[in-house]
């Protein structure tokens, strides 16, 4: 993660404590805050007033003004100013770009989606398209760059702690992450990260891994990618390479880093070509042109024997992938995430049947994500929100040190 902040002046720890509490709750009183933070009443009230002056808290009408009549002096009520700034999450995929703008509570304000024309794709043009998608989403939300507190962008490439992607023999990393830390340097808080890692953030925040401290989010559509969480921490590695799946090119029974969707499409075409499926059947029609993996899954669900064979074959590959990941990272759970998760249950059921029972460690639980194609942008928003919580006071006090 990178920031464009100047050093903020020292401040009382009570400001951080009260702001953290405000971010985690709805409206509250000084009594609520002091009970949650352990601060004294006077310190709590001073912190609440200071945060209100900064514009991070808003004072609400008191109980009498709100119609909740009580005896005695009504308590002052405060709340986080969710509209004080905005967050931006971006899924900058190989072909599809999604940019979402939210308020500080991660409530969506606007989303823009863009499809890249790949034969015209180059690093500089790609950076401009991603930046334009963000600006368009901000416009749709009625906000501007000046309103952004934190932005997080997910890319399909390794990303190190500085937000940079290592050199790639074919230039893939540099093209997928064309200096995006610099592109978005206008934002106070910037995080560029691997898309599978952000999928893992999403699954842990609002998805199939809530409450789980050891899990893997497996993006498995066109290419394999894994976001790995161990002891509650997303693993990165020296160059951001944890979760890169090229090693599966050397694993018997897997053979490539192609995703499950890509395999289904290729094997559907092969089944027609080698006569395993009737050239006049539905699978042949699906396999013509650009085969759709979801159509193969739907055909298998309808009982087509050739499609069912493909599902079983893909399930066996998934089982081998899960077994290897299980032996490497010892996760409690593996979540099949991304657009391919919609309708993939039959493959997961087949994979569960194929999981070996003689592993040195218990096999991970294999589940399907419910977050669909927006899992990466959901994780990007969650990551931007987490960074905003940590850095908001630094930003505000650098702007207004008084």
Per-residue pLDDT of the chain (402 residues), as tens digits, is: 445 555 566 789 999 999 999 999 999 999 999 999 999 999 999 999 999 999 999 999 875 555 555 555 678 899 999 999 999 999 999 889 999 999 999 999 999 999 987 656 688 999 999 999 999 999 999 999 999 999 999 999 999 999 999 887 777 888 899 999 999 999 999 999 999 999 999 999 999 999 999 999 999 989 999 999 999 999 999 999 998 999 999 999 999 999 999 999 999 988 888 888 888 788 888 887 777 888 899 999 999 999 999 999 999 999 999 999 999 999 999 999 999 998 899 999 999 999 987 778 889 999 999 999 999 999 999 999 999 999 999 999 888 766
Last residue of a domain, one of 52, 80, 108: 80
Q: How far apart are CA 174 and CA 170, in angstroms?
A: 9
Q: Do residues 169 and 35 share a domain? A: no
Question: Which pLDDT value is given to residue 122?
Answer: 86
Q: Please give the tally of structural domains in the chain.
A: 3
| Closest residue by Cα to residue 243 from 176, 177, 197, 208 | 197
260 and 144 housed in the same domain: no
What is the model's pLDDT at position 118? 62
- Range of 168's domain? 86-207+376-399
Question: Rounded to whole angstroms, how far apart are CA atoms 255 and 260?
Answer: 12
User: pLDDT value at position 1?
Assistant: 45
Task: Report the C-alpha gap between 335 and 347 in whole angstroms.
Answer: 13
Q: What is the pLDDT of residue 8?
A: 61
Query: Which CATH number is 45's domain given?
Result: 1.10.10.10
Pair 380, 365 in one domain = no
* CATH assignment at residue 348: 3.30.420.40
Q: What was the pLDDT predicted at 25?
A: 96
Beta strands (DSSP E) in 140-256 are 148-155, 189-194, 215-219, 225-230, 233-234
What pLDDT, on the 0 to 100 scale, is given for residue 67?
53
- Total Cβ atoms within 10 A of residue 113: 15
The verdict on 247 and 365 lying in the same domain is yes
| Shared domain check, 94 and 46 | no
For residue 6, what pLDDT is reported? 53
Quick one: pLDDT at residue 66? Answer: 53
């Amino acid at each position: 993660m990178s920031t464009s902040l100047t050093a903020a002046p020292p401040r009382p720890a009570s400001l951080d404590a009260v702001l953290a509490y405000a971010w985690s709750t709805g409206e509250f009183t000084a009594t609520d805050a002091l009970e949650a933070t352990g601060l004294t009443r006077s310190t709590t009230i001073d912190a609440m007033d200071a945060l209100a002056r900064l514009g991070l808290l808003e004072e609400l009408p008191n109980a009498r003004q709100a119609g909740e009549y009580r005896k005695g002096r009504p308590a002052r009520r405060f709340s986080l100013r969710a509209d004080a700034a905005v967050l931006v999450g971006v899924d900058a995929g190989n072909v599809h770009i999604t940019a979402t703008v939210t308020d500080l509570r991660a409530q969506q304000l606007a989303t823009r989606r863009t499809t890249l024309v790949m034969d015209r794709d180059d690093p500089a043009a790609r950076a401009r398209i991603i930046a334009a998608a963000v600006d368009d989403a901000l416009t749709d939300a009625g906000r501007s760059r000046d309103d952004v507190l934190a932005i997080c962008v997910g890319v399909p490439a390794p990303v190190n702690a500085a937000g940079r992607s290592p050199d790639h023999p074919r230039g893939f990393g540099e093209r997928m992450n064309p200096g995006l830390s610099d592109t978005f340097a206008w934002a106070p808080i910037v995080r560029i990260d691997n898309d599978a890692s952000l999928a893992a953030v999403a699954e842990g925040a609002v998805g199939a891994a809530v409450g789980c401290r050891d899990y893997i989010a497996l993006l498995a559509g066109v290419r394999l990618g894994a976001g790995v969480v161990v002891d509650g921490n997303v693993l990165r590695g020296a160059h951001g390479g944890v979760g890169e799946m090229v090693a599966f090119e050397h694993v018997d029974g897997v053979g490539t880093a192609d995703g499950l969707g890509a395999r289904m499409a290729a094997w559907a075409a092969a089944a027609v070509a080698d006569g395993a499926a009737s050239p006049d059947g539905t699978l042949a029609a699906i396999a013509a042109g650009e085969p759709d993996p979801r159509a193969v899954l739907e055909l298998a669900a309808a009982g087509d024997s050739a499609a069912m064979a493909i599902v079983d074959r893909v399930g066996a590959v998934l089982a081998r992938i899960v077994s290897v990941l299980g032996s490497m990272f010892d996760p409690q759970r593996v979540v099949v995430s991304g657009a391919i998760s919609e309708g993939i249950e039959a493959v997961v059921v087949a994979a569960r049947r194929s999981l070996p029972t003689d592993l040195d460690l218990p096999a991970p639980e294999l589940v399907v994500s419910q977050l669909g194609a927006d899992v990466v942008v959901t994780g990007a928003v969650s990551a931007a929100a987490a960074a905003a919580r940590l850095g908001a006071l630094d930003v505000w006090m650098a702007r207004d040190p008084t």
